[in-house]
Amino acid sequence: MEEPSIPRRVVDFYSKPACSLCEVALAALKTVRRRISFDLVEHDVRQDAALAERWRYDIPVICIDGLVAFRGRVTEEAFERRLLQGPEAAPGPPSTT
């Protein structure tokens, strides 16, 4: 199957261990990554006080190219749709679906 042609995206994933929502979200990202290439950078918010303060009530948080795309729950379908929008797409409000 041929990969969609989009510029390489950078996805930052903010989470912490033993977070069930984080585990589900990361699994969704990794499944989509098998179909569409992107750079995935994982951040444990417990390792940085500023990150812990910023995201403590919102994890998991997924940023695409530096913009918050999702907070909390995310599905494979929603993530893939947002990823394929391209960097020129105007960011909408952060999604929780």
Residue 2: per-residue pLDDT = 56
- For residue 66, the enclosing domain spans 9-84
Would you say residue 90 lies in a domain? Answer: no
Tell me the CATH number at 69.
Answer: 3.40.30.10
Would you say residue 34 lies in a domain? Answer: yes
Say yes or no to pLDDT of 78 above 50.
yes
Would you say residue 49 lies in a domain? Answer: yes
**Between residues 4 and 75, the one the model is more confident about:** 75
| pLDDT tens-digit map of 10-47 | 999 999 999 999 999 999 999 999 999 999 999 999 99
Domain count, the chain: 1
Would you say residue 93 lies in a domain? Answer: no
Give the Cα separation of 23 and 42 in Å (integer): 12
Q: Look at the alpha carbons of 23, 28, 29, 31 in this order and tell me if their dihedral is positive or negative.
A: positive
Would you say residue 91 lies in a domain? Answer: no
